[in-house]
Amino acid sequence: MGKRRRPARLGERRHRQAREPRAGDVVKREELPMTKTIIPEAALQQHVLVLGKTRSGKSSTMRGLVENLLDAGEPVAVVDPKGDWWGLKSSADGKSAGYPVVIFGGSHADVPLNAHAGAHVAELVATGNRPCIIDLGGWMVSDRTRFFIDFASTLFRTLRGRRWLVLDEVHNFVPQGKILDPDAGKMLHWGNRLASEGLGKGLRLIAASQRPQKVHKDFVTSAETLIAMRVIHPLDRNAIKEWIDGCPDAERGKEVLATLASMPRGEGWVWSPEIGFGPKRVAFPKFSTYDSFKEQPAEAHGKLKGWAEVDLAEVTEKLASVVKEAEANDPKLLRAEIARLKTQAARSAGNEISADALARERASAEQRGYARGQVEAYGEHAEHMKTALQYLKGAVQVITHCLSASAKLVDIPLAPPAPRVQPAPRASATSAEHHHARAPAGDPQIGNSGLRRMLIALAQRPQGLNRRQLGVRATLSSRSGTFDTYLSKARTNGWIEGTGDLRITEAGLKALGGYTPLPAGRELLAHWLGELGSSGAARMLQVLADAYPKALSREDLGAAANLSDRSGTFDTYLSRLRTLELITGRGEIRASEELFDG
């Protein structure tokens, strides 16, 4: 495959000058001394915001802007939450090579991607010229949020030189409205910070959204150039009006607003007050690469015949060095390496260090680990309390609204409700011991700590639990130092075994002593409803139990549980129920049959 020839850089091209278009003119490509995208080259040196409804041509317009930058040899990274930008790598007919961009993630990936790779990918984007597409199509909201927090924060800290970041469907990253999920708040913070402070670090943003009213106002007002395409809903037009009202000549915006609902596909108003351009109505040209935005035939789901290959050796080498550097600065890994070297030194010295000295060192290390874990646990509990308070405030508002509305209703006789499973009361540690009063006493090293909760969880699930499942059941973060300390102690004493799935051993059961086994069937359902308390997760489980054996869609489940199925909170509750193995299914969700056996 032949390589694409690099045209002149931005500012090197010249086109003939025609008459200055009047407001209302449809500007054709040959009429302005500009780039092939028909907007001033100066506009691409600042933040650009493209707003328009679905099928208005905004993605095509953005593709044209990106192709223009790639032609000029500029560093561009596209964050693609829909998974439809891969066409950049092939020609319009799919038979020859397009642009040699690296695709991270998605069905056309050059390099696979997961939710924990945000910081590593950001360092690749921030250093050097590595044009890429970051494909987040089909990701869970919680995973996409986690990735973007790490990506945006690392990009902000490590930016070196001029580069462009393209954010398609930007309302996914900087949403307007009330934020209840702490992670969503962090994502919004970093998105807005890239917009407000990025230019000073050399970062230019090109962002688009089909839902203008859903894009955070701070992000909108950070854009110096607006491309307004067809929108119909009054709230979306109002979002564009707010941007126009901030311009020096708001009167000229009236014509823009009056024509937005009737704009043909591919046309848009371009306005860049800071460089004195517009408002001008522009007919944007078709982009030159493969149209991956349209519905694809079956044969296009793999790589096309024409596909721009990239040299992944340099990318993977850089990614490996980034990961290695991160590991080198990881305190946990450093402590493990120090411990390994100490042990090796002791052995090579002919066991000069006595067994008693090693035992004292190990005991001291465990105490330090407990202390660090306690500090981490305090921090985690503070975050949980903060989130709980936010949920409670929202619940109070909902209850107040419902009480106010119900006071105005006429009493209507209702059919008696179907019997519901009553949550079982949460058993205290004392009552659990009384339940097995005749059981042998456990090892005093275990006490009533989180380690005991971990062993109980494993005893209640003899087939084993993975780290995350164990952490959730024992109410400990599986990523915390406390969890690792308890896990290490249990392994050292031979109380647990396994790597992927952890299981309790006979020695572990003996050390644990008395505990309350899980009930079966409907009693098991009542147990978990009691454990989940009055949370949204409990409401979701009750709704699914009432519908069993029928499965429910996300939308139906959210409506019945009085939760938005698009919120981060909904995904958090759903993830918790999956981890506890209380539900099954993805598209259609059903309560676990284990809750109804016996």
Mind listing the pLDDT tens digit for each residue in 370-380?
666 565 555 55
Please state the rounded mean pLDDT for residues 363-386: 59
Average pLDDT value for the chain: 78
Strand order in the sheet with 552-553: 552-553, 588-591, 583-584
Neighbours of 285 (CB within 10 A): 15
Q: State the pLDDT at residue 34.
A: 52
Q: State the pLDDT at residue 508.
A: 87
Contact between 191 and 148 under an 8 Å Cβ cutoff? The reply is: yes
Q: State the pLDDT at residue 425.
A: 55
Q: State the pLDDT at residue 82.
A: 92
Judging by DSSP bridges, how do beta strands 225-228 and 203-209 pair with one another? Answer: unpaired
CB environment 25-51: b (16+ within 10 A), e (fewer): eebeeebbebbbbbbbbbbbbbbbbbb
* 549-585 per-position pLDDT tens digit: 899 998 889 888 888 888 888 888 888 888 888 888 8
* 180-216 per-position pLDDT tens digit: 888 999 999 999 999 999 999 999 999 999 989 999 9
Q: State the pLDDT at residue 439.
A: 43
Whether residue 8 has pLDDT greater than 80: no
Q: Taking the model in full, what pTM does it have?
A: 0.53
Please state the rounded mean pLDDT for residues 16-27: 40
Whether residue 422 has pLDDT greater than 80: no
Whether residue 292 has pLDDT greater than 80: yes
Structure tokens at 64: 């044209």
Whether residue 462 has pLDDT greater than 80: yes
Q: State the pLDDT at residue 323.
A: 58
Q: State the pLDDT at residue 531.
A: 83
Whether residue 369 has pLDDT greater than 90: no
Rounded Cα distance between 268 and 227, Å, is 6
Rounded Cα distance between 558 and 536, Å, is 10
Rounded Cα distance between 263 and 189, Å, is 34
* 469-479 per-position pLDDT tens digit: 787 778 777 77
Q: State the pLDDT at residue 19.
A: 37
Q: Which domains does the chain have, with CATH numbers?
A: 26-294 (3.40.50.300), 361-405+437-458+465-511 (1.10.10.10), 521-595 (1.10.10.10)
pLDDT above 70 covers a percentage of the chain that reads 71
Handedness of CA 544, 550, 554, 555 (dihedral sign): negative
Q: Helix, strand or coil for residue 445?
A: coil
Structure tokens at 457: 């969880």
Q: State the pLDDT at residue 28.
A: 44
Maximal C-alpha separation, the chain: 97
Judging by DSSP bridges, how do beta strands 277-283 and 26-27 pair with one another? Answer: parallel
Please state the rounded mean pLDDT for residues 263-267: 91
Residue with tokens 């915001």: 49
Q: State the pLDDT at residue 2.
A: 43
Q: What are phi and psi of 337, to 5 degrees?
A: -65, -40
